[in-house]
């Protein structure tokens, strides 16, 4: 079988290898599509924390079962499945508390261990979710949307809330669309006017603001001076994160979804005066995946606007650097095997 490996920053190669054998408790899966995510792009550019090379990337996958043993999920050969790529130990304090997303020994498929940029893979069947009623495109985007769903659940976002989402990339757009589904009023902030125009036209936001054009004053005007109950950072930018607290109302929450590789600083009197709740949101749990699948089944996500390009698998070798560019207009690129 063919697979693509990131040998070191800025370098992919394609190789031939042996398909994985079936082992009890695992499923052998045919990879149909691979979504390219921010983690993959950062890894390619050498900016991904907790990462080593060489590594087979890819964890946003649409797959079909080639072989599976007896299981309690009702899965059979030929079924389409969503993969939860978070391989947890099932035994640490966080796993026992139902927080498998932040397991102390967590291995993320395609990050800490080799992932899905290959024709056939094997994973524990406990990480599979039946998805025969979804298209391959919908299955591919469940995982990044689940990250947004987890952030919203962590924040307790509810109908009628004013929320600010900083960053209109794939994770930010997921938070935006799912917050709208919940019934929140959504303000999107970015420095990229193309992305702001996209979320305004395709994802039904209530207000788009360029971060370089007096965002605090515009948010105050829009909310009657109250600002936002919750601010979500989906940029991973130090400057954005440290400034995001200014968009948050007194008694509000600040949710860090993007990951910055370094130290952050806040003025303590400012965050103290607002009695700020700062929340970190990492990965997702089964509950978040099920929520996203429900939204997709109902037809309440604009999958066609979210996936902006389909490419043949081998295009990863030649075009990845273009997708990693800050000037790229792609939201979600999907490689088709």
- What are the b/e assignments for 123-159, b being 16+ CB within 10 Å? bebbbbbbbeebebbbbbbbbbbbbbbbbbbbbebee
The confidence score (pLDDT) of residue 180 equals 98
**Fold classification of 148-280 (topology level):** Rossmann fold (3.40.50)
pLDDT band for 261, please (50, 70, 90 cuts): confident
Distance CA 255, CA 154 (A): 8
Question: What is the rounded average pLDDT of the residues 289-297?
Answer: 98
Residue 316 structure tokens: 């990863």
Residue extents of the structural domains in the chain: 2-132+302-336, 148-280
Q: Which CATH class is domain 2-132+302-336?
A: alpha beta
Prediction pTM value: 0.95
Compute the average pLDDT of residues 41-59. Answer: 88
d(C-alpha 136, C-alpha 33), whole Å: 7
**Residue 6 and residue 309: Cα distance in Å, rounded?**
21
Separation of alpha carbons 227 and 42, rounded Å = 32
Q: In the structure encoding, which two tokens stand for residue 185, read together?
A: 């009023």
Question: What are the pLDDT digits (tens) for 134-154?
Answer: 999 999 999 999 999 999 999
Specify the pLDDT at position 324.
80
* 95-107 exposure pattern, b = at least 16 Cβ within 10 A, e = fewer: beeeebbbbeebe
**Tens of pLDDT along 199-216?**
999 999 999 999 999 999
């Amino acid at each position: 079988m063919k697979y693509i490996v990131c040998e070191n920053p800025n370098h992919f190669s394609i190789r031939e290898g042996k398909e994985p054998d079936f082992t009890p408790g695992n499923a052998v899966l045919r990879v149909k599509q691979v979504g390219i995510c921010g983690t993959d792009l950062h890894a390619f550019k050498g900016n991904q924390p907790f990462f080593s090379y060489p590594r087979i990337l890819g964890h946003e996958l649409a797959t079909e079962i080639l072989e599976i043993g007896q299981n309690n999920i009702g899965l059979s050969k030929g079924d389409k499945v969503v993969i939860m790529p978070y391989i947890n130990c099932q035994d640490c304090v966080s796993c026992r508390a139902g927080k498998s997303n932040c397991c102390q020994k967590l291995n993320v498929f395609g990050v800490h261990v080799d992932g899905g940029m290959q024709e056939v893979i094997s994973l524990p069947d406990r990480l599979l979710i039946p998805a025969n009623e979804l298209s391959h495109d919908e299955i591919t985007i469940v995982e990044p949307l689940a990250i947004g769903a987890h952030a919203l659940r962590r924040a307790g976002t509810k109908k009628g809330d004013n929320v600010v989402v900083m960053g209109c990339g794939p994770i930010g757009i997921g938070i935006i669309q799912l917050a709208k589904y919940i019934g929140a009023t959504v303000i999107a902030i970015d420095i990229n006017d193309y992305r702001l125009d996209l979320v305004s036209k395709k994802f039904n936001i209530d207000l788009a603001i360029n971060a370089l054009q007096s965002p605090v004053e515009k948010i105050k005007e829009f909310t009657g001076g109250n600002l936002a109950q919750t601010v979500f950072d989906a940029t991973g930018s130090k400057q954005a994160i440290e400034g995001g607290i200014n968009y948050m109302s007194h008694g509000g929450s600040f949710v860090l979804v993007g990951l910055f590789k370094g130290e952050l600083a806040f003025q303590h009197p400012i965050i103290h005066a607002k009695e700020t709740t700062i929340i970190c949101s990492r990965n997702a749990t089964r509950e978040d995946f099920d929520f996203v699948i429900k939204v997709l089944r109902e037809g309440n996500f604009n999958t066609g606007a979210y996936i902006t390009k389909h490419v043949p698998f081998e295009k990863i070798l030649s075009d990845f650097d273009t997708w990693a560019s800050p000037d790229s207009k792609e939201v979600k690129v999907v490689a088709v095997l």
